[in-house]
Amino acid sequence: MDVLSSKQDSGWRNKRGEASLSDVHRSINISSSGSRWRRLAAFAGPGYLVAVGYMDPGNWATSLAGGSKFGYALLAVALLSNLMAIVLQSLCARLAIASGRDLAQACRDAFPKWVSIPLWALAEIAIIATDIAEVIGTAIGLNLIFGIPLELGVLITALDVFIILYLQKMGFRWVEAFIITLLGVIAVCFAIQIFLADPQWGGVIRGFFPTTEIVTNPQMLYLALGILGATVMPHNLYLHSGIVQTRNYGHTLPEKKEALTFATIDSTVALCFALLINASILILAAAAFNSTGRTEVAELGEAHSLLAPLLGLAIAPTLFGIALLCCGLNSTVTATLAGQIVMEGFLKMKLQPWIRRLITRGIAIIPAAFVTIWYGDAGTAELLILTQVVLSLQLSFAVFPLVMFTASKAKMGELVAPIWLSGLAWLIAVVIAGLNVKLLVDFVSG
């Protein structure tokens, strides 16, 4: 271990153990002799895996509801949520590069077991909640494109484990290429749909500027909280701090500083792309539904069925289904990796990816299958909302440790977050906690 790492380890209760995702740890070389642009390109990838978590079916549901009910007004909330996410994900990269730990390992090494074990349990619950949303989203996508019944689609989603196995055997760059390709497909689908919907671009631009109505209108505030609660995903914080370490960026301070710069650029650009997708969903809902008087569209299946008559082209709902299916497949890959990082980091327990995937997906399929069989489309919409509430409740248990670690000079050494960044991060953590508590209270009170 280098001297810099030894000094940083002195700030932790326990010494650093085996790296997360050890089979791909530092497996992607960064050429020291190449140009700066080439080194930057070598870091491109992890941010896009993280971006996937910001456009899952839960985001779709809240964005559809917000766009159909209030037009473009909630675009400002989507923008604010994304800015918060950019700050938090940059801290994940900082933690990983400075300490050599992912967030799960950092929690295990910094806290006693009576703290770290409950944090592990909460992280697992968050991943299962995320997986339920993916199961539902993928099943709805299969239903919309191929007409496969939801009940059967839920069971088919268990087969996605073979995608994970195949990609991980080929190497981590192939995992990233798969994700980026599907993101490209999603972007093309929404670009075509928005072109067909022909939104009022003046209204779109005004929508990115917040208004007091967002706070004074209770219904608008509730949807705004839902968008915020569905945007920052707890499993993404664990995921990013693990996969950044797939890059072999060197051990000296200058090399680590450059790695942090490149990793931050990667995640920031990728999250701007995620904002583009989420804003596209809201803009599409506003242009296709709100402008025609359909202000109560919130279910994915309902949105799909209304697109063809409103946009005038039969291809529109198909594109919607393809984009949703791609989102489900993408989230499958990232949730598996996050699950591995959480289990290995907190418990030092290694499982084969396919075993880990089958366990998590098996747990997720049970409630998803029950709801689709007994309650149908309406039930799946309610279950999607419930998963977002679960994620909201768990989020602060990942955000606060992250902000605390990256603000500690003893733990981070020379790469400790600047005071202004730590102050901004603490503000974001408190705001997210307060808003998510309100969202939870509103949910419980009906």
Q: With bands split at pLDDT 50, 70 and 90, how would you rate the model's confidence at 408?
A: very high
pTM (predicted TM-score): 0.89
pLDDT at 184: 92
pLDDT at 443: 67
pLDDT digits (tens, 9 = 90+) for 192-202: 888 888 899 99
Token look-up 């707890």 returns 234
pLDDT tens digits, 323-352: 888 888 888 778 878 888 998 899 888 777
Residues 6+ apart with CB under 8 A from 357: 160, 161, 164, 336, 339
pLDDT digits (tens, 9 = 90+) for 54-77: 887 777 877 888 888 899 999 999
pLDDT of amino acid 1: 46
Say which residue, 315 or 438, is predicted with more confidence: 315
The residue among 226 and 152 whose pLDDT is bigger is: 152
Q: Which residues are registered as beta bridge partners of 248? A: 29
Q: Pick the more confident residue, 79 or 364.
A: 79
Tell me the pLDDT tens digit for each residue of 85-138: 999 999 999 999 999 999 999 999 999 999 999 999 999 888 888 878 778 888
Radius of gyration of the chain (CA): 21
Six-digit token string for 209: 């500027």
Distance (Å, whole) CA 18 – CA 358:
24
Does 286 have pLDDT greater than 80?
Answer: yes
E-assigned strands of 195-333? 247-248
Task: Name the least confident of 92-96, 280-284, 372-376.
Answer: 372-376
| From 12-16, 41-45, 342-346, the region with the lowest mean pLDDT | 12-16
CA 307 to chain centre: 26
55, 139, 56, 67: which is closest to 377 by C-alpha? 139
218-222, 237-241, 326-330, 401-405: least confident range: 218-222
CB contact at 8 A, 227 and 119: no
Domains of the chain: 3-445 (1.20.1740.10)
Whether residue 243 is predicted with pLDDT greater than 80 in this model: the reply is yes
